[in-house]
Amino acid sequence: MGKLKLLVMPSVFIKTYGCQMNERDSEAVAAQLSAKGYTLAASEGEADVILLNTCSVRDMAEQKAIGKMHSVAARVRRHRPKVVLGLLGCMAQSRGARLLDQLPDVDLVIGTQKFHRTADYLDEILTGKRDKIVDVETEAGSEAAIKEHFPHGNRGASGEAARKVTAFVSIMQGCNQYCTFCIVPYTRGEERSRTIPDIVAECRQLVERGVREITLLGQIVTSYGKRDVPVQNGKSAFVQLLEAVHEVEGLERIRFTSPHPKGYGDDLVEAYGRLPKLCESAHLPAQSGSDRILKLMHRGCTREKFLGIVDKLRRVQPRMGITTDLIVGFPGETEEDFEETLALARAAEFDNGYLFKYSPRQDTPAAAMPGQVPQAVKEERNARLLALVNEISARRYEALAGERMEVLVEGPSRRNAARQMGRTRCNRIVVFEDAVDRRGELVKLKIERAGSFTLYGTMNE
């Protein structure tokens, strides 16, 4: 990389906002840069390159990243004017070059189809070939460019490697559903899927490095390969992919996120009973319990269909852990509509729910709909729904006390390093004490008690 080859390679700090897809994109960018010789900085204060991987799903996420970049530019640039500042991901994609007007200190703006170009663009800036770079173009084949992982698992800022037990594998990009509240189809583009052999090869490599559980990732994974892989023997492209990944020797568990309820055909429901590595957990975004609101949202699913899927899944796997996303205060939502959402939560008995107060996103149809709900009403409905979801969740967690459950041990607990943590097949976190480091092992634990979204287990018979 030009003159810099003579010097110590720069260090990079990446801060990630938003969802697991963004986490995975940042991980791949960090691995790409690391392979080129960059080191990973523990904080922005010691980095030569500071990148913010941004989220656009809610206005608050965008404002946070913009505020952060303002403060980084003011603090870091004052003492170290040569530090390179970059914005990646969804907000970079949706705002493009306009970000340079708002944040003139930013050097690099990279959209969602250009993550794999980060190292090249940094080289050009660091070697003085170019001052500023903005690239938010579409690129054919970019969905297959998010595949790098660290050779030995997660790396701390000091570069030390720890064995990685679980990994995310990006299988597709984009979404064609165009829910009226959602900005994702505009920031991530049309659905584009990787091939089954390409995905399986990445899974195989991860397992060779010690990974035991893989989560297949995409904005709408159940639409995987729809246009490219024909249905075979009644099995959708996504179910065919699950079968192919299931064949990877040494892999113990498979999960996926995020699906769409309409993608839960009988072939997928039936796969939960047939593929032992497919964990009995499902994230099923309901968004609302009112058919009128679901139609306005363009969700392509009704309340009855949704509850039918929940019912079928629990019949195939009675222990199925089901989580959801729910939006309160969508334009036009009346008290009656909201009560239907409360009733849906009661009927579905979710293990957990992620609640969102509707936030208008520029250029999405819902932002211009009549009947925008006042903030105070959104707050009040959110509090009521949260209380209900938490009450149901606590009851379902407590019901597991006394059971013996299989747990994949992921490593020391984040809150208490003297304890180890892992997950059940139904995706509940379990913490337990044991002197032996069991990272990567499947253990049978007795669940002693339930805390807030955590189970406490013992190795005792």
Report the Cα–Cα distance between both ends of the chain, in Å, rounded: 59
| Cβ proximity to ligand SF4, 146 vs 447, nearer residue | 146
Determine if residue 132 is left, alpha or beta; phi over 0 gives left, psi from -120 to 50 gives alpha, anything else beta. beta
| Cβ proximity to ligand SF4, 21 vs 345, nearer residue | 21
Range in contact with ligand SF4 (rule: CB under 6 A) among 68-76, 173-181, 231-239, 366-374: 173-181
The Cβ of residue 402 has, within 10 Å, a number of other Cβ atoms equal to: 9
- CA dist., res. 274 & res. 242, Å (int): 11
From residue 136, give the alpha-carbon distance in Å to each of 91, 109, 111, 224, 348: 10, 8, 4, 24, 41
Range in contact with ligand SF4 (rule: CB under 6 A) among 69-77, 110-118, 175-183, 368-376: 175-183
Task: Tell me the per-residue interface mask from 74 to 103 with ligand SF4, x by CB under 6 A, - otherwise.
Answer: ------------------------------
Size, binding site for ligand SF4 by CB under 6 A = 10
Instruction: Write down the least CB distance from residue 223 to ligand SF4, Å.
Output: 8
Contact in structure between 28 and 148 (CB atoms under 8 Å): yes
Structure tokens at 309: 């899927």
Q: Which of 151, 115, 158 is nearest to 135 (CA)?
A: 115
Q: Which of 159, 157, 250 is nearest to 206 (CA)?
A: 250
Among 80, 128, 178, 362, binds ligand SF4 (CB under 6 A): 178
* 185 in contact with ligand SF4 (CB under 6 A): yes
Range in contact with ligand SF4 (rule: CB under 6 A) among 126-134, 179-187, 385-393, 403-411: 179-187
Task: Tell me the per-residue interface mask from 233 to 262 with ligand SF4, x by CB under 6 A, - otherwise.
Answer: ---------------------------x--
- The radius of gyration of the chain from alpha carbons, rounded to an integer in Å, stands at 23
Instruction: Write down the least CB distance from residue 84 to ligand SF4, Å.
Output: 31
| Cβ proximity to ligand SF4, 47 vs 179, nearer residue | 179
Instruction: Write down the least CB distance from residue 147 to ligand SF4, Å.
Output: 21
Range in contact with ligand SF4 (rule: CB under 6 A) among 94-102, 107-115, 181-189, 334-342: 181-189
DSSP state of 190: S
Contact in structure between 91 and 60 (CB atoms under 8 Å): no
Range in contact with ligand SF4 (rule: CB under 6 A) among 5-13, 170-178, 224-232, 301-309: 170-178
- CA dist., res. 436 & res. 420, Å (int): 9
* 220 in contact with ligand SF4 (CB under 6 A): yes
* 179 in contact with ligand SF4 (CB under 6 A): yes
Q: Helix 237-246 vs helix 196-208: angle between axes, to the nearest 10 degrees?
A: 30
- CA dist., res. 256 & res. 440, Å (int): 19
Residues 260-299 within binding reach of ligand SF4 (CB under 6 A): 260
Instruction: Write down the least CB distance from residue 139 to ligand SF4, Å.
Output: 20
DSSP state of 232: B
Instruction: Write down the least CB distance from residue 184 to ligand SF4, Å.
Output: 4
Among 41, 72, 109, 184, binds ligand SF4 (CB under 6 A): 184
Instruction: Write down the least CB distance from residue 185 to ligand SF4, Å.
Output: 5
- CA dist., res. 423 & res. 99, Å (int): 40
| Cβ proximity to ligand SF4, 178 vs 453, nearer residue | 178
| Cβ proximity to ligand SF4, 59 vs 403, nearer residue | 59
| Cβ proximity to ligand SF4, 185 vs 457, nearer residue | 185
Instruction: Write down the least CB distance from residue 23 to ligand SF4, Å.
Output: 16
Query: Torsions phi, psi of 75, nearest 5?
Result: -80, -55
| Cβ proximity to ligand SF4, 350 vs 432, nearer residue | 350
* 40 in contact with ligand SF4 (CB under 6 A): no
- CA dist., res. 242 & res. 269, Å (int): 12
Three-class secondary structure of residue 363 per DSSP? coil
* 118 in contact with ligand SF4 (CB under 6 A): no
- CA dist., res. 158 & res. 339, Å (int): 51
Contact in structure between 117 and 174 (CB atoms under 8 Å): no
Q: What is the DSSP string of 425-452?
A: TT--EEEE--SS--TT-EEEEEEEEE-S
Among 219, 257, 324, 427, binds ligand SF4 (CB under 6 A): 219
DSSP state of 146: -
Tokens 């039918």: give the residue.
308
* 175 in contact with ligand SF4 (CB under 6 A): yes
Binding site for ligand SF4 (CB under 6 A): 175, 177-179, 182, 184-185, 219-220, 260
